[in-house]
Structure 1
């Protein structure tokens, strides 16, 4: 899952060619929206723990897990960007830890989308069994499996990394900016990462698409709640959109590689900064915007906290 990290590194690796003023301006342009999105995500996370209805409903628990992973990714991305902008070189052990944290949380987001899609599928196709299948206990088990699967990937990458003879290095101090690419010492690590990334995203896409088709088929049944099926269909489409945004960094890497050969270096860096905000930062806040605005239960609580407790013309949610 190194594509977001690699994409970010392509940006930060070119900052050394910019003037101090331009680096400050571009860093501010990326940091300000990042702080805004962090405030929204943090408020959403707080809102999801503020009412028993959120803490005791499976889909809100899953949403909390998704938001938590996205928020950690958002913080990690911006910290790495600032370190590179300030030209701070890390040691290999510190960089390795930061890289593994990024890989862990990056995998959790699409896997959580799978569980959320299956929950909507069960709610529409098996409404009478939904309460017995989608329980708090089963939700906790699903989240544990998601984290365990992601941790297994990180463990495999660590084992591949430890296979490198670090004692042959003159110093553990890195000579380049910290990134997943800088931590790849053997081709097998790169091959494994690409294969794992393709496997995860293809599997997630198949599950979400299958859930969407299942909901569409169920919506034509006379016994199905049309409003519920329509809402579930829209939710699954949004999950697909979130998945596409997660994959967007994979799509743009080859484009940027070709673009680097046709435009000047400084123009290339400026374009990358724009895409960094649109591709890396914005998708990490998308879940908060989607669910905070669409969900009638979350909206009044979220707006209340975003406005720091000011009274709004929305009905309060009963605890």
Structure 2
């Protein structure tokens, strides 16, 4: 039977069914990898707390902070994605809390990458003073400063939201899906967001690039360990890539807004799903993949926990070699 002979009711029911089927399909395709990467990130976090030597090494403490922020951000993003997919409308206060938590954790990543880059710079350019500069106490102070700076940004956003006349609304129930853009209830909020994001990523980019240049200059010195300098250079390049991917997430909403003016809603929804995976999920799991595979110290312990200890015992030689590698790197 041709579509021209079908009644409008049947066509509408079929379109609704196709729309529901497509939402379920896209939700599955995004939720499955997100759950997998949440498991990997969670295992990585457990790994970094499973050994005393990880808990007492500054670079692994910073890595734990980076992974924790990325994991929370990925979980919040997936929660908000599921809420939007299920077409659930939240109230402004609930949406505001979710967005503020997301803003807080999203700013932690670039700031932590800056601290990690500076740590590598000190390790290569000032190897004799590294142990006195990069201490556990100083690392803790740096992490507190990162969270305090990000919290100050969230507090500023809350104060800007308080200027909106909520009493003029008939209901606190939102008429659109909960998103960061939906919470820009005034021009000041949107302007502040653009200014802060630009300042944050320009500053972070300059800090990482400066650290990279400093390591490159130090690598030409005869007194510098070439292997250590080469490894630090590659690490800083990865940090720059991670920073770039984090920056891409800030373009997510503007891209969707631009697409909404030129494409149909169904195309927009498909583009939104693709961008969500590429911009939110993939960058948040990159740290685990990079350090879990690249770092020979973490790799054997991580693989042991990822396999849920179903493998025979991790070879004692591999673990001893792992611990000796860490201890050697600390001296």
Work out the CA distance in 2 between the residues paired with 1:254 and 1:102.
Answer: 17
Report deviation, 1:256. 4.7
Report deviation, 1:183. 1.4
Give the conservation status (yes or no) of the 8 Å contact 1:17–1:266: no
Work out the CA distance in 1 between the residues paired with 2:281 and 2:231.
Answer: 27
**Structure 2 matches for 1:34-183, cutoff 5 A?**
34-183=34-183
Bigger relative CO (Cα 8 Å, ≥ 6 apart): 1
Give the conservation status (yes or no) of the 8 Å contact 1:300–1:315: yes
**Structure 2 matches for 1:237-252, cutoff 5 A?**
237-251=237-251
Give the conservation status (yes or no) of the 8 Å contact 2:181–2:253: no
Aligned to 2:329: none
Deviations 1:104-143 (A, max 9, x none): 0011100000000000000000000000000000000000
Aligned to 2:283: 283
Secondary structure (helix, strand or coil) at the match of 2:50 reads coil
Secondary structure (helix, strand or coil) at the match of 2:154 reads helix
**Structure 2 matches for 1:261-272, cutoff 5 A?**
261-272=261-272
Work out the CA distance in 2 between the residues paired with 1:195 and 1:63.
Answer: 28
Report deviation, 1:264. 3.6
| Structure 1 unmatched ranges of 5 or more | 1-15
Report deviation, 1:260. 4.3
**Structure 2 matches for 1:19-34, cutoff 5 A?**
19-34=19-34
Aligned to 1:10: none
Secondary structure (helix, strand or coil) at the match of 1:297 reads coil
Work out the CA distance in 2 between the residues paired with 1:91 and 1:122.
Answer: 48
Aligned to 1:315: 318
Number of equivalenced pairs: 304
Work out the CA distance in 1 between the residues paired with 2:272 and 2:242.
Answer: 21
Work out the CA distance in 1 between the residues paired with 2:99 and 2:210.
Answer: 33
Give the conservation status (yes or no) of the 8 Å contact 2:252–2:279: no
Q: TM-score, structure 2 length as denominator?
A: 0.88
Work out the CA distance in 2 between the residues paired with 1:220 and 1:156.
Answer: 45
Deviations 1:162-212 (A, max 9, x none): 111211111111111111211112101111110000000000000000000
Work out the CA distance in 1 between the residues paired with 2:122 and 2:182.
Answer: 43
Which structure is larger by alpha-carbon Rg, 1 or 2?
Answer: 2
Deviations 1:51-79 (A, max 9, x none): 00100000000000000000000000000
Secondary structure (helix, strand or coil) at the match of 2:49 reads coil
Q: TM-score, structure 1 length as denominator?
A: 0.91
